[in-house]
Amino acid sequence: MQARRAARELALILLSQLDKNPKQYTDPDFKEIVLTSVRTLTNNAQEELKSACATLVDLKNRIDDIEGNAEINLERPLNASNLPVPLPLTSDMTGKLEELLNICENTMLALEIAELTTLEENDDVKSYIMKIVDSYKDNKDFIDSQIKKFAFGWDLNRLVKIDKDILRIAICELVFVKDAPLKVIIDEALELAKKYSTEDSASFINGVLGKVVIENALV
């Protein structure tokens, strides 16, 4: 994971914790919020992995029971190994397979969080987080006015908070930080939306950011 990608994700965590008046926070406050949030995410990821392991054990036991209780194996000598048997109807296994897919996703998330935890101490990551957050703190009214202007038909107060925060980070980078190419900033915002929100949110965010770019003559 690149330093700036990690910084964006950690900034998203940070913004999600702030109230409506970010100017009341100092830099040490921001850093403490990020650290606390990362620790919380790490603990949650550990719990998810424990749950995932329990599900895998349950699935293995279920398959062992199906095999051991099959008529062909019940008739075999006690010391003989079980023979493979067909699984039940696909509908009986679909739920378990969906659980396994969720396990894979949670495992990947846990690995990413572990990487974020490591990168949180990286000076480049810290520096870029603070560039984003300080820009947001100093320019919140302008940034939110841009979102309100281009989120046609949406009340800013009713927008999904994760979508607002992704837009805030991207607008900070586009208009004020300006340390990355426009395409990279927008693509990273869309990836955050797909990861933490929805495909519809990604499309909505892309539309708003495109108008911000034109409005502020960034191309």
Q: Name the nearest CA neighbour of 11 among 170, 203, 200.
A: 170
Task: Report in angstroms the alpha-carbon separations of 17 from 33, 114, 141, 146.
Answer: 7, 20, 18, 21
**What is the mean pLDDT of the segment spanning 171-182?**
93
User: CATH number of the domain that 112 lies in?
Assistant: 1.10.940.10
- Angle, CA of 42, 44 and 47, to the nearest 5°: 110
pLDDT tens profile 72-84: 999 898 889 999 9
Give the structural domain span for 83: 3-215
Give the separation between CA 186 and CA 193, rounded to whole angstroms.
11
pLDDT tens profile 47-94: 777 877 887 788 888 888 989 999 899 989 888 999 998 877 667 677
Per-residue tokens: 193: 């939306």
Number of domains into which the chain is organized: 1
